[in-house]
């Protein structure tokens, strides 16, 4: 499936640039660690944790807490970045799932950082990267991912469906990230079970919570979908508003990463801050 299904896009924005650089990087990764070797590592992994069970649980707010050193829009997010320490604080203070960004050129992370978090986190882990090739799916499972992210804005529906199917064969579902109505249509056509609505436009970094307000009713038209709100969440009131709209979980990174007190911020977002 190597690169089949790519959208033919001009190099006009940061998202295009990231995927183009990822394509080059993947060529090197393949040479250093052939797919056959990665598949062998997959066989040594325990079964993926049940992400659906975690996110579909009612009665409490579910937060997918994200770990990332920096972004191409905001630069460095946290001095003295320590992924394992951050993961420990997330786990101890109520995160349902951890999202670990593994892109290196623009976000300063790596698959090795994911592996380090895996060693200390007993809850499901999502690999968040710019995924477009089957190799990356197998690689995610080989490093212990329980869930992975696919960006509908950049993938066509056929490639997205193929990648979803490979993940399902490995017992590892995907969160399909959308940003507009066209993305949602692609997610439905690919039979996505988990849909994320990203309030951030990845082509320019702008964030607008109206995206979720507009798209949530459409995303929930089909039954048995898990809906995740991504980006731009800073406080408890926003979470309560979107839970009323039917959102099941919230992927929150920047608000936590820049916080001076991660445990307190996470408890505030969960609605269990100390009085």
* pLDDT tens by residue, 170-223: 999 999 999 999 999 999 999 999 999 999 998 888 999 999 999 999 999 988
The H or E element containing residue 74 is: none
Distance of CA 83 to the CA centre of its chain: 16
Q: Which of 109, 231, 265, 268 is catalytic?
A: 231
Q: What mean pLDDT comes out for the span 39-43?
A: 96
What 3-state DSSP class applies to 176?
strand
Give CA separation, 82 vs 109, 112, 113, 118, 143, in Å. 11, 13, 9, 14, 19
* Residue-wise pLDDT tens digits, 113-172: 999 999 999 999 999 999 999 999 999 999 999 999 999 999 999 999 999 999 999 999
Confidence of residue 275 (pLDDT cuts 50, 70, 90): very low
Q: Which of 230, 254, 255, 265 is catalytic?
A: 230
- Residues 6 or more apart whose Cβ sits within 8 Å of residue 82: none
Q: Could you tell me the sign of the dihedral formed by the alpha carbons of 187, 216, 220, 144, in that order?
A: positive
Return the percent helix, strand and coil in the chain, to nearest 5: 40, 15, 40
- Is 74 marked active-site? no
Distance of CA 170 to the CA centre of its chain: 18
DSSP 239: H
- Is 128 marked active-site? yes
- Is 177 marked active-site? yes
Q: Which of 99, 198, 199, 255 is catalytic?
A: 198
Number of Cβ within 10 Å of residue 179's Cβ equals 23
- Is 198 marked active-site? yes
Q: Which of 89, 177, 254, 268 is catalytic?
A: 177
- Is 189 marked active-site? no
Q: pLDDT exceeding 70 applies to what percent of the chain?
A: 95
Q: Which of 193, 190, 127 is nearest to 155 (CA)?
A: 190
User: Facing residues of 133 across strands?
Assistant: none
Which single residue is written with the structure tokens 């060529």?
27
* Spatial separation of the C-alpha atoms in residues 77 and 89, rounded to whole Å: 17
- What is the value of pTM for the model shown? 0.92
Crossing angle for the helix pair 181-189 and 157-169, to the nearest 10 degrees: 50
Range of weakest confidence among 2-11, 17-26, 50-59, 190-199: 2-11
Q: Which of 22, 68, 186, 265 is catalytic?
A: 68
* Residue-wise pLDDT tens digits, 216-266: 999 999 888 999 999 999 999 999 999 999 999 999 999 999 999 999 999
Q: Which of 22, 118, 128, 186 is catalytic?
A: 128
- Residues 6 or more apart whose Cβ sits within 8 Å of residue 83: 67, 100, 109, 113, 116, 117
- Is 181 marked active-site? no
- Is 231 marked active-site? yes
Domains and CATH numbers, the chain: 61-270 (3.20.20.70)
**Tokens standing for residue 63:** 């937060």
């Amino acid at each position: 499936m190597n690169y089949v299904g790519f959208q033919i896009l001009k190099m006009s924005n940061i998202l295009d640039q990231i995927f183009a650089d990822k394509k080059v990087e993947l060529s090197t990764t393949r040479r250093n660690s052939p797919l056959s070797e990665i598949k062998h590592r997959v066989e040594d992994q325990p079964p993926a944790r049940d992400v659906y069970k975690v996110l579909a649980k009612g009665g409490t707010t579910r937060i997918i807490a994200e770990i990332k050193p920096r972004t191409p829009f905001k630069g460095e997010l946290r001095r003295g970045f320590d992924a394992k320490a951050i993961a420990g604080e997330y786990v101890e203070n109520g995160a349902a799932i951890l999202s670990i960004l593994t892109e290196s050129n623009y976000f300063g992370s790596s698959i090795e950082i994911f592996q380090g978090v895996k060693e200390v986190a007993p809850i499901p882990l999502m690999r968040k990267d710019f995924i477009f090739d089957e190799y990356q799916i197998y690689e995610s499972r080989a490093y212990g991912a329980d869930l992975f992210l696919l960006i509908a804005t950049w993938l066509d529906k056929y490639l997205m469906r193929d990648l979803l199917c490979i993940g399902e064969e490995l017992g590892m579902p995907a969160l399909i990230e959308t940003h507009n109505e066209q993305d949602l249509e692609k997610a439905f056509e690919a039979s996505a079970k988990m849909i994320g609505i990203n309030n951030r436009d990845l082509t320019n970094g702008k964030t607008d919570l109206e995206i979720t307000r507009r798209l949530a009713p459409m995303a929930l038209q089909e039954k048995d979908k898990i809906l995740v709100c991504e980006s731009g969440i800073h406080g408890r009131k926003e979470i309560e508003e979107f839970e009323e709209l039917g959102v099941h979980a919230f992927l929150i990174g920047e608000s936590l990463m820049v916080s001076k007190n991660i445990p307190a911020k996470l408890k505030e977002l969960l609605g269990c801050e100390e009085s």
